[in-house]
Chains A and B, each alone.
Chain A
Amino acid sequence: MKEKVLTEHFGLENLYKIDVYQKQGGYRATEKALKKMSPEEILEEVKKANLRGRGGAGFPAGVKWSFVPPTDKPRYLCVNADEGEPGTFKDRYIMSHNPHMLLEGIIITSFCVGINAAFIYIRGEYEAIALRLEQAISEAYEKGFLGKNIVESGFDLDVYVHRGAGAYICGEETALLESLEGKRGNPRLKPPFPASVGLWQCPTVINNVETISNIPHIILNGAEWFIKKGLPKDGGTRIFGVSGMVKNPGIYELPLGTSLKDIIFKHAGGMKEGKKLKAVIPGGMSAPILTADEIGIKMDFDSLVEANSMLGSAAIIVIDDKTSILDVLKVVTKFYSHESCGQCTPCRIGNSWINKIVKRIAEGKGKKEDIDSILRLASNIEGNTLCPLGDAAAMPILSITKKFRKELESHL
């Protein structure tokens, strides 16, 4: 059972309370990092651990931190808790079960990068979790883990919870910044990258909840230990969220590289009674779909890229044979059309256009040329938009349409 890192104590009652958390060794990492390590040593350790971003893009966290330039401006940490990728619910678990682990990660990250104010940008629907976080934050202040002179190290940090208000796009890091500044969630042009020009034009680190939550474990156990939990280029475990037509949907913390087949059939209990596997979305809705024949694949960044898909947020959506792929495509295209911020042309109009075609097919008014149109339009979105949402939409649309073309054509 010692395989688990993040979810190890999730079964414990009241783990979200600081006393219970401390009894499990909580805040030891903070003490160690702030008292016994220098920011440079922490950065070195995190870099060595090859901790890749758990939000979807998989960018190495340590490298991201090292991009923060030396300036006199204040620096900020934004924790991306805007969990909106369909199929994804792992951060909800972390924050509701073990908010102090996240806070420890925030404290150590901030100390490492020289940050004195951190914002947890949490999706608006998670109101109860926001309250739990705020409660955890006030406990941490009381115990001297937040505020002035944390654990008598001379380091100061304030942490705030900032609730979104219903916009998938705000999970994109620059849209998140805009939203946090009080604007519409329109992504920014990059460069400049947030590490140098971020929140209020100041250097800003943005990391996902799960990414940050790994930090205390790396500090306590070291980079080598962390890498052994995963793969050399991709340290640590991964919290897989399994949903859809399986017997036991839920979160499963497993080593990177576990096969998709094992996750579905061993860990999640296999298909629901009488259902047969048809397809799997392996990394949140934006990840290109895999057919039932492809589930032998190892669940890590590189293996999935090789299979023209992606690990994304490690959210696995299991689709059964009774589900119409046209319905899946309708749900997918409606989602991206609804969630496009509307700023750039291909995403704004392309996603709406494709959704209009799919809806028309579903109404029984499909035309012979529709499938080619969908492919052409999605290809014209892909790679041509201002932010990754365009690709996030095009990838599943293209893969679903290509891999299930025959079935889609049967509706025309």
Chain B
Amino acid sequence: MIKIFIDKDPVEVEEGTTVLKAAERAGIHIPHLCYHPAFPPEGSCRMCLVEIEGFPKLELACSTVVKKDMKISTKSERVVEARKAVLEFLLAEHPLDCPICDKAGDCKLQDYYDEYGLFESQFKEVKEKREKKLKIGKTLILDQERCILCTRCVRFLREVTETQELGVFHRGVHSSVNIYDGATVVNNYAGNLAEICPVGAITDEDFRFKTRSWFLEKRESICPLCSRGCNILIEYHPGFARFEVPKKVYRIKARENPEVNGFWICDRGRYGYSYLEEGRADQIILNKIDGENVLTWENISEYLGEKIKRLYSAKKATGIALILHTWLSNEELFLVHKIFKEDLKVEKIFFADPPQIEADGYLLTSDPSPNIRGALEIGFDIKTVDLDALADGTDFLLAFGPFLSGLFSLGDLKEALDKIKGKVLFSYYSNELNSLFDIVIPVALIAEKAGSLTNVDGIVQSFQPALEPPGESLPEWKVLADLGKKLGIDSKFFEKFTSPDAILGEMGKKITFFQEKE
């Protein structure tokens, strides 16, 4: 560590770091447009100029490496004037169409103008005419007039995807980002371009003209669509009462995590967010129920407990079968393991996950479920459902997840399930599968609950609820913890499980893999 001075304040920073990063760590944002932490400094936008004692010229914060006792001024008059000058240049050839620009509210050019400028444009000349609506990808539109030539997009396609669909053509003021003769950006990471574009040059039709970014609430979560566990931001409109705008998720963005996904997410994760809202189950469905009149979240575990206890004798439960899936959190799988495998000695445990997909060699894995590794580490043997084995001698089936219908036809499922007397399903969705069960309990998705997941590389990542679960839906871990108590086999063990954190703490004690991973 070395000491430097930023705006007269001493700051301890890592040797070899840049002025920009050092300032960021000290809580000082130095404006920048072309710099992106994923790439080496480009130095072309000239927004990050700072004054350094002993240097005759202003220097780039993005590329200048700190030296011991360096005295850096990030807001001196000279610096502010230089930033203003850069902004004035950028805005001179910019269309200034913020009112119809989707980036408004998220735009760095707009933010910096607000911070440094608010000057009147002196540009009285004719602006260069360029392409305003160039389709450069399945959902991507490039507006060359808004482009400030930071080349983040070009560098992303050169360095990250190595697909090179975009390039810079022509030179000087005529320089423009372009595709090659209509050959659009075709790769599973195209959506990142709209996100790394610091201005409104690349916009995404998936979002374009649908809402304004300042209405959106941003929540952290983890993408469940494969076993990578990419860190994401879910952006949703909380809804307006007056004009009856409903609550709705508008987009998913990448959230930085150097260990897992860097700065990126794949298009499957970015655009596949309809699973969050479409066809959700929001109330408990009672298709067939014996005895009880009403079933609610309060008495569901008691009901299940009674069912199970009837099948439990000689320290063993017979006639019980379980279908699990790996969208369940570590904590939920751990509770299932404890209750059904360790305490009840249930043998028929199957998994029903979405079918395998093709990995893309970068972030997207071939497992379209987020927690296979977790299930393995907890001690499950992941066996896919075998309908004959499932139905054979089974009196009571406790099934989790909606994925059975992706594995079998409804007819085959019905035939098998008809042989089983009692059937309960925990599902996210309201669909035909539900009609085959006596009771369907709506549950929260990963985005709607707390817990942790273990990704393909064994990294355990905790998450908090980003969204409210719909209607009566609640997370499975609550029912499971309650059920554990109600069963009365090892009640005390379950008493302390008032949160996923507490469960993960216990897991650390029992399973070596989870030690120090809470």
A residues near B, CB below 8 A? Answer: 167, 184, 189, 337-346, 348-353, 356-357, 360, 367, 373, 380, 383-386
* Listed A/B pairs (15) with beta-carbon separation below 8 Å: A184-B171, A337-B173, A340-B171, A342-B174, A344-B46, A345-B46, A345-B148, A348-B149, A349-B90, A351-B173, A353-B125, A380-B85, A383-B57, A386-B43, A386-B44
- A373 to B, closest residue via Cβ: B122
Most buried by B among A341, A353, A383: A353
- B124 to A, closest residue via Cβ: A367
Residues of B within 8 A of A343 (CB): 44, 149, 175
Other-chain residue from A340, A345, A346, A384 in contact with B172 (beta carbon distance below 8 A): A340
B173 lies within 8 A of A342 (CB): yes
Other-chain residue from A184, A345, A385, A386 in contact with B168 (beta carbon distance below 8 A): A184
Q: Knowing that A346-B46, A346-B89, A348-B172 touch, tell me 20 more A-B residue pairs with CB under 8 angstroms.
A: A337-B172, A338-B172, A339-B172, A342-B172, A344-B44, A345-B44, A345-B86, A345-B90, A353-B89, A380-B85, A383-B57, A383-B58, A384-B46, A384-B49, A384-B57, A384-B82, A384-B85, A384-B86, A386-B44, A386-B46
Other-chain residue from A189, A352, A353 in contact with B43 (beta carbon distance below 8 A): A189
For window 132-168 of B, CB contacts with A under 8 Å fall at 148-149, 168
Minimum Cβ distance to chain B for residue A401 (Å): 16
- B91 to A, closest residue via Cβ: A349
A357 lies within 8 A of B41 (CB): no
Complex Cα distance, B33 from A93, in Å, reads 45
Minimum Cβ distance to chain B for residue A336 (Å): 9
Assuming the A-B contacts A342-B149, A345-B148, A352-B172, are A189 and B90 also in contact, with contact meaning beta carbons closer than 8 angstroms in the complex?
A: no
Other-chain residue from A184, A349, A385 in contact with B93 (beta carbon distance below 8 A): A349
A189 lies within 8 A of B89 (CB): no
Complex Cα distance, B47 from A344, in Å, reads 10
Minimum Cβ distance to chain A for residue B116 (Å): 13
A351 lies within 8 A of B172 (CB): yes
Q: How large is the interface on B (under 10, 10 to 19, 20 to 34, 35 or more residues)?
A: 35 or more
B17 proximal to A (CB < 8 A): no
Label chain A's interface by main secondary structure: helix
Assuming the A-B contacts A189-B43, A340-B173, are A380 and B58 also in contact, with contact meaning beta carbons closer than 8 angstroms in the complex?
A: no
Label chain B's interface by main secondary structure: loop
Most buried by A among B41, B123, B148, B172: B172
A356 lies within 8 A of B88 (CB): no
Residues of A within 8 A of B85 (CB): 346, 380, 384
Minimum Cβ distance to chain B for residue A243 (Å): 25
Complex Cα distance, B45 from A360, in Å, reads 27
B8 proximal to A (CB < 8 A): no
Residues of B within 8 A of A341 (CB): 171-172, 175
- B127 to A, closest residue via Cβ: A356
Complex Cα distance, B85 from A383, in Å, reads 12
Complex Cα distance, B85 from A373, in Å, reads 12
Residues of A within 8 A of B124 (CB): 367
A189 lies within 8 A of B60 (CB): yes
Minimum Cβ distance to chain B for residue A386 (Å): 5
B58 lies within 8 A of A384 (CB): yes
- B89 to A, closest residue via Cβ: A349
Residues of B within 8 A of A360 (CB): 125
Minimum Cβ distance to chain B for residue A127 (Å): 22
B310 proximal to A (CB < 8 A): no
Complex Cα distance, B38 from A199, in Å, reads 24
- A167 to B, closest residue via Cβ: B171
Minimum Cβ distance to chain A for residue B501 (Å): 46
Assuming the A-B contacts A353-B125, A356-B125, are A342 and B171 also in contact, with contact meaning beta carbons closer than 8 angstroms in the complex?
A: yes
Complex Cα distance, B92 from A336, in Å, reads 18
Minimum Cβ distance to chain A for residue B336 (Å): 54
- B56 to A, closest residue via Cβ: A383
B126 proximal to A (CB < 8 A): yes
Most buried by B among A189, A341, A357: A189
Residues of A within 8 A of B168 (CB): 184, 342
Other-chain residue from A351, A380, A385 in contact with B88 (beta carbon distance below 8 A): A380
B170 proximal to A (CB < 8 A): yes
Complex Cα distance, B60 from A385, in Å, reads 10
Minimum Cβ distance to chain A for residue B184 (Å): 22
B63 proximal to A (CB < 8 A): yes
Minimum Cβ distance to chain B for residue A32 (Å): 41
Residues of A within 8 A of B63 (CB): 189
